[in-house]
Amino acid sequence: MKIIETLKNIWKIEDLRSRLWTTILLVLVYRFGSYVVLPGIDPTALTALKAQTSGGLLALLDMFSGGAFANASVFALGIMPYISASIVIQLLTIAVPYFQKMQREGESGRRKMNQYTRYLTVAILLLQGPSYLINLSVQLAQAGSALPTGFLFTATSTIILAGGSMFVMWLGERITDKGIGNGISFIIMIGIISRFPGAVIKEFASRLTDAGGGLVMFLLEIVFLLLVIAASILLVQGTRKVPVQYAKRVVGNKQYGGVRQYIPLKINAAGVMPIIFAQAIVFIPVTLASYSHSQSMTAFVNSFMNTTGFWYNFIFALLIIAFTYFYTAITINPTQMAEDMKRNNGFIPGVKPGKKTVEYLDEVMSRITLPGSIFLAIVAILPAFAKILGINAAFAQFFGGTSLLILVGVVLDTLQQIESHLLMRHYDGLLKSGRIKGRIGSVSAY
């Protein structure tokens, strides 16, 4: 069989085998840490916290942390503070000349920006740590237990939570350097996929108790889920090809150029980043609410945390569309593309080189980004409709939304890296025909 032969080829490549083992071991460390409870907390008293994270916005936060949030683990804050810090730094590269200059400095500038991102991550963690402990205290009180009081406990627990999140970030960087795939994205994917078997079993069990047509409904749900997965793959891989004609050049007795090629402009050049960015933004009210004792503020946040409500999904969709344009603008540079074409004696038929080519490419990107961003927003809010139709909340998260698109994007990226290792060593790829097209090569996940 093709898959068995591919697995044998993967095992033959020592570097690829080593990277896969490294990735597996680091993932196991992450999964083990998600069950290590904060010192001073009784794990048996976390029933109220787990009930709180069974639905709504906190269910997404718990899913991103791989269940560590509901377990009151040392990894409870997960990787979202780092993503929030990355958003702020990337926004600063557009608005602040100092960060723009760093971005143009190449590798040294990138290292400085990464350092600033880490500093900002620590600052966010020091804000979110006490917020998490306040919420945890309320939930433990509902279970008849109590959180240790005093400044010393709050300070040490905040430091442990911050250190846990920084360690998760370090694991992600090690996976990127020594393993397979983008480490931060891979850790988010592992947290999401760990919830999938339990969600399927829970939905299947609930359908078995239905008096009429429960199993039929479950099969229809699986079919719809497969259709959404197929649509998500098309969204990640879809491209619009722009023809480029290369002029003839004669050097000595050899002729160069005179051929037509195509620039594959991705319909969704931003990948899943707009959803991750938007999700990080909507978590901000949850953090601020824990510091506010205002009844109106609490009521607003409670209504906003309703993931099936109109305002949550409307604002979430608008943020996705806005971030799609933003991330596409900072990753796709029409001016650089036009200069590269001109340098290689290439031109777009019917379009003058230079400024006209830049305007044409920018117009094409704007046209294909709009439907791509709207489609991305629709897929992102599909879980809300699934919940309204009576599907279990945990299983509904996989009917589109952040979870499914991250899974599709990261899996495609990882498979593309494995295929690149195979092809580089003259083995057959993962597919008999064509190449796996992920987001690598156009947009790095982080």
Question: Which pLDDT tens digit goes with each residue over 47-77?
Answer: 767 776 666 666 777 777 777 778 888 888 8
> Does any domain span residue 186?
no
Q: Which residue has the higher pLDDT, 134 or 256?
A: 134
Q: Which of 153, 179, 205 is the last residue of a domain?
A: 179
Mean pLDDT of 161-186: 88
> Residue 54 sits in a domain of what CATH number?
1.10.3370.10
How many H helices and E strands in the chain? 19, 5
Predicted pLDDT of residue 324: 87
> Does any domain span residue 188?
no
Q: How many domains does the chain have?
A: 2
Same domain for 344 and 393?
yes
Same domain for 273 and 143?
no
Same domain for 444 and 406?
yes
> Does any domain span residue 153?
yes
Same domain for 139 and 212?
no
User: For residue 103, what are the contacts with CB-CB under 8 A and spacing of at least 6?
Assistant: 93, 109, 110, 113
Asked if residues 328 and 322 have their Cβ atoms less than 8 Å apart, the reply is no
Same domain for 161 and 215?
no
pTM for the model stands at: 0.74
pLDDT band (50, 70, 90) for residue 93: confident
CA distance 265 to 136: 47
> Does any domain span residue 184?
no
Could you report how far apart the first and last alpha carbons of the chain are, in Å?
36
**How much is the mean pLDDT over the chain?**
78
Q: Which of 112, 146, 179 is the last residue of a domain?
A: 179
Same domain for 321 and 359?
yes
Same domain for 216 and 163?
no
Give the lowest-confidence range in 106-120, 236-250, 341-355: 236-250
Q: Domain limits at 274?
A: 196-446
Same domain for 170 and 231?
no
CA distance 274 to 110: 21
Asked if residues 199 and 392 have their Cβ atoms less than 8 Å apart, the reply is yes
Strand ranges in 238-306 using DSSP code E only, listed in sequence order: 239-246, 249-251, 254-256, 260-266
Same domain for 205 and 59?
no
Same domain for 142 and 70?
yes
Chain segment 354-384, per-residue pLDDT in tens: 888 888 888 888 888 888 888 888 888 888 8
Three-point CA angle 327, 332, 333, nearest 5°: 130
CA distance 353 to 365: 17
Six-digit token string for 131? 């917020």
Report the 10 Å Cβ neighbour count for 243. Answer: 11
CA distance 410 to 408: 6
> Does any domain span residue 187?
no
Predicted pLDDT of residue 443: 33
Predicted pLDDT of residue 430: 59
Mean pLDDT of 26-45: 86
Using a 10 angstrom Cβ sphere, with 0-12 exposed, 13-18 middle and 19 or more buried, the burial of residue 149 is exposed
> Does any domain span residue 72?
yes
> Does any domain span residue 293?
yes
User: For residue 235, what are the contacts with CB-CB under 8 A and spacing of at least 6?
Assistant: 267, 268, 372, 375, 376, 379, 405
Bridge partners, residue 240, by sequence: 265
CA dihedral 92, 98, 104, 110 (to 10 degrees): -70
Same domain for 215 and 147?
no
> Phi then psi for 306, rounded to 5 degrees?
-75, 100
> Does any domain span residue 190?
no
Q: Is residue 444's pLDDT more than 60?
A: no
Same domain for 277 and 228?
yes
Q: Which of 148, 179, 210 is the last residue of a domain?
A: 179
Helix (H, G, I), strand (E, B) or coil at 250: strand
